[in-house]
Amino acid sequence: MFRAEVVDFGVSPSVAGVLCVLTALASPALAQAPMELRLADVGRFASFVDMGGIAWTGRTARLRVLQVTEEGFTAGTEAFWGGWRYEVLDCDARTIAHAGFSSVRVGGREGPVSGDQRPAAAIPAGSADDAVAKVVCDGQRPYANIPVAASVEEAVKLGRPLIATGAEP
What sign has the CA pseudo-torsion 149, 152, 158, 163? positive
Domain annotation for the chain: domains and CATH numbers:
37-165 (2.40.128.710)
Q: How far apart are CA 63 and CA 85, in angstroms?
A: 8
Please give the Cα distance from 2 to 11 (Å, whole number): 23
pTM, whole model, 2 decimals? 0.81
CA angle 64, 160, 95 (to 5 degrees): 30
Using CB atoms within 10 Å of the CB of residue 87, give its burial: 0 to 12 exposed, 13 to 18 middle, 19+ buried: buried
Tell me how far apart the alpha carbons of residues 65 and 128 are, in angstroms, rounded to a whole number.
10
Q: What is the CA radius of gyration of the chain?
A: 19
- Tell me the pLDDT of the chain (169 aa) as tens digits: 333 333 343 444 443 443 343 333 343 433 456 799 999 999 999 999 999 999 999 999 999 999 999 999 999 999 999 999 999 999 999 999 999 999 999 999 999 999 999 999 999 999 999 999 999 999 999 999 999 999 999 999 999 999 999 999 8
The DSSP bridge partners found for residue 102 are 84
